[in-house]
Structure 1
Amino acid sequence: MSSKLAIKIDSLSKCYEIYDAPRDRLKQMIIPKLQRLVMRSPGKYYNEFWALKNISVDIKKGEAVGIVGRNGSGKSTFLQLICGTLSPTQGLVETNGRIAALLELGSGFNPEFSGRENVYLNGSVLGIDKARLDERFADIVKFADIGNHLDQPVKTYSSGMFVRLAFAVQMHLDPEILIIDEALSVGDQFFQAKCYAAIRSMMDNGTTVLFVSHSAATVKALCPRAILLSHGELVVDGPASKVLDRYFVLGSLEANAAKSAQLVPHPESAIATVASTESTVMQTVSCLQPPFERRVSHRVGTGQAQFVECRVLADSEEAIVVETGATLRVQAVLDVLDDCPYEGEVGLVVATAEGIELFAINSFFQGARVPAMKAGEQRVLEFEFVSPLSSGARYRIDLGYRMPVQGEYVDKVFAAAGFSVVNQGDRIVPLLFDVPGTVRIGLSTK
């Protein structure tokens, strides 16, 4: 196996024996052996189900590969064979590096142990000594953010709490190969945003990632390469966009939102305004979402000023669920920590929960400026737009404040707020954007 490869898979197959009745299993254990003793061809009392058939794939170190396919296509079996929790019927799997895997919910956890005890149990299974776990424990607890439940038995945890703790453990143990099988789908959108940011950071540091998801947006956001499985066979292996197009053709995509990710609404449909310090400061802290610092997945910037609150309003009321076509106002508060001596610009990006950026509103292009500010000041920012987003998906708000004309960021926060969209009318909108249009059908003049 080449040192440049993280995973080498050669002619991999997995067959399960399916018995019609318990007695057939007993027959299979006894009768073929007796038939061999009398030199007869052994009988077969089961049906074969080939979950995987002759798969050959090489994955380089540092690659991020999405695995897509319909339910029953063999994705989970494929990952379990790589992890070593299943043995292949035929073929070979070689791995080069320590593997961390999020496969079945709660796997590797003892339900009777507390979350704290399971952190150490999970780490020891992965070969991490206690001293290293002690060093990372505070970071694991902070990332999981499950509060006092840390010392409660994990059998009392919700599915979201399971994933929070499991992902926090795996992420902070520096795996060389990270395998995720749809586990993040049970987390809330703020935790998902935090996880995607962490995965990207691990990828930047050379971690190999295998990611199973039914969401095209997620696969495109994380994985340049994808593999499509169908009925246990490898259909196509290549650039993620081309593989997902093939997935669409098979009619198997359950979350096909990424098709319209490049659509951008008309700029005249959005306005951005900057409120002065004399305006009424937004004092009401969001009560519908987690506290601001827990929502934010990560932030960058010089730190001279920082966003400290953000909320979405529909019909003047704070909302986390809005209707398709609603007029939305996004209010944000910016605290000035150090002098910002130049005029600046503020912007808002609406993105999917996975981080696919959909459209932006920027004060520079709307003719609004953030004036020079002194330390201790506070500014209220308000963005307003008619939402073209369709129902059935979750979205997030990213905020940015920087020096003028695309200068250095003073503060940029990701996942400052989040909301979902519902469609109360009869209109069916299958993709991400509800774009009004007409269709005309006429007779040919030929």
Structure 2
Amino acid sequence: MSFDEVAIKVSGVSKIYKMYNTPADRLKDLFNVSKTKKRHQTFSALNSITFEVKKGDTVGIVGKNGSGKSTLLQIIAGTVTPTSGKVEVFGKVVALLELGSGFNPEFTGRENVYLNATMFGISRESIESKFSEIESFADIGEHIDQPVKTYSSGMFARLAFSVAIHMEPDILIIDEILAVGDAAFQAKCVSKMRQLKDGGVSLLFVSHSVDAIKSMCHSAILISHGNLVDQGSSEKITNHYLAMIRDEMNQYNSDDSIQNDETIEEITSIDASSSFRYGSGLVSFRDVHMANENGEPTKAYEFGEQASIICTLYSKEKVTDINVSFLVRDITGIDLFGTTMFDEDITLVSLEKQEKRTIRFNFPIWLRQGSYSVSVAVNRVTDRDYSDVFLYEQIDGASAFEVIRKIDRPVHYKVHFPIRIETEGGLYDK
């Protein structure tokens, strides 16, 4: 990547914090009292992180709480100094890292707008010309002239986001701040971020919503325990992240009768290069394929045709309460539709040792022309809130299919549902 294409370059960044038992120990360490005595422990928040963000790109950062995401963003924003490594930023950075950062709680919303403009080197005249836009986007009404310490978290988020996007950023960093807003505000923010992205602004985006990451971001990085575990397309990384979460759920819900270290046997009918497969492997998929209404294998459908996903299961041991599910995603990785046997109140499966069983999902193709992928999963579950779910196997990208154009039935949206349309009225007699 050439120098003029880079917005952010992170090179071998580490951050180590000293942890003290008491404030007195911190003070003694500061003044080097008795150097031979160790008064602190160390905590590595980040370990040699390296990646680049291209200008105009949108990169998501995913990971569990405490993984180091916020520390990384603070270092990139310049509010925290790395212990080692280097961060190079090319352009003006505006960061929304936490509610209240950069705002004086005693000042009114209006006064804080001008305060932030001064911090970012924007003249009073320039911000005055934009103030009506900032006020309109924030949409907090007369509260704009009240001290921000009286604001709710939602009002704070509205004003903070509105101020940030009007500060003419080259790089916008957002750390989960949108989660405090209502649904309408979140939708407006996402729309504005798309507009900024189309205008060439680089976005670094942290969210626990995998759909938001897949929808907003070209690529993503996964951080765990301060380490950069994986980087790549947003779909690949969010799948990896969900796999980590599900593996942890397996460990939490495991019992002595389940052997989690079993090797998952190879599946010859699934392309390993295009699928992502994980789980304990006690129950696994031996075959997953698409078929037409006659049961014939196919990978292309017209709008309105009947489709089937046919899954063949194999169990290494006797198991009960087996639930199978499927999920259809578009080419960007966005979840479109799917279901589970459990959700549909279908009797769950019991399998004997070394038994095979076929499960078939049938549905009409109500999709726009394009490419789609199918993910499948098999788990054990009995509680309606899925609190006891144990994942045997999930395969993301287990199969794929195309919806081809049907000349006499255009579909303008991603998914079509049958709609009943009624008209009323007639000529108006004056």
| TM-score interval, normalised by the smaller of the two chains | 0.5 to 0.7
Partner of 1:236: 230
Partner of 2:145: 151
Secondary structure of 1:262 counterpart? strand
Aligned partner of 2:190: which letter? Y
Q: CA deviation at 1:245?
A: 1.3
Change (3 A) 1:168 1:267: farther
1:95 aligns with 2:169: no
How far apart in 2 are the matches of 1:30 and 1:130?
44
CA contact (8 A) 1:346 1:370 kept: no
How far apart in 1 are the matches of 2:43 and 2:196?
37
Aligned partner of 2:26: which letter? R
Query: Map of 1:234-383 to 2, 5 A cutoff?
Result: 234-251=228-245, 261-263=335-337, 359-361=415-417
How far apart in 1 are the matches of 2:20 and 2:183?
42
Aligned partner of 1:161: which letter? M
Change (3 A) 1:163 1:22: same
- Which stretches of structure 1, 4 residues or longer, exceed 4 Å deviation after superposition? 257-260, 264-270, 345-349, 368-371
Partner of 1:77: 71
How far apart in 2 are the matches of 1:253 and 1:133?
50
1:48 aligns with 2:104: no
Aligned partner of 1:263: which letter? F
1:16 aligns with 2:17: yes
CA contact (8 A) 2:214 2:334 kept: no
Partner of 1:58: 52
Q: CA deviation at 1:26?
A: 2.8
How far apart in 2 are the matches of 1:73 and 1:110?
29
Partner of 1:7: 8
Change (3 A) 1:186 1:98: same
How far apart in 1 are the matches of 2:183 and 2:418?
24
Change (3 A) 1:260 1:179: closer
How far apart in 2 are the matches of 1:242 and 1:5?
23
Secondary structure of 1:214 counterpart? coil
Secondary structure of 1:251 counterpart? helix
CA contact (8 A) 1:51 1:74 kept: yes
CA contact (8 A) 2:93 2:170 kept: yes
Q: CA deviation at 1:58?
A: 1.0
1:163 aligns with 2:164: no
Among all aligned residue pairs of Structure 1 and Structure 2, give the percentage whose two residues are the same amino acid. Answer: 47
Partner of 2:127: 133
Q: CA deviation at 1:89?
A: 0.5
Change (3 A) 1:360 1:190: farther
Change (3 A) 1:268 1:369: farther
Secondary structure of 1:23 counterpart? helix
Q: CA deviation at 1:104?
A: 0.8
Secondary structure of 1:360 counterpart? coil
State how many pairs are aligned. 282
Q: CA deviation at 1:252?
A: 6.8
Q: 1:188 aligns with which of 162, 182, 187?
A: 182
TM-score of the aligned structures, taking structure 2 as reference length: 0.60
Change (3 A) 1:346 1:158: farther
Query: Map of 1:107-122 to 2, 5 A cutoff?
Result: 107-122=101-116
Q: CA deviation at 1:249?
A: 1.7
How far apart in 2 are the matches of 1:121 and 1:59?
29
How far apart in 2 are the matches of 1:205 and 1:253?
39
Q: Which runs of 5 or more structure 1 residues have no equivalent in the other structure?
A: 36-41, 271-344, 350-356, 377-446
Secondary structure of 2:75 counterpart? helix
Secondary structure of 1:202 counterpart? helix
Partner of 1:402: none
How far apart in 1 are the matches of 2:159 and 2:124?
18
Aligned partner of 2:337: which letter? L
Q: CA deviation at 1:120?
A: 0.7
How far apart in 2 are the matches of 1:175 and 1:157?
25
Secondary structure of 2:82 counterpart? coil
Change (3 A) 1:130 1:31: closer
Deviating more after overlay: 94-103 vs 244-253:
244-253
CA contact (8 A) 1:52 1:231 kept: yes
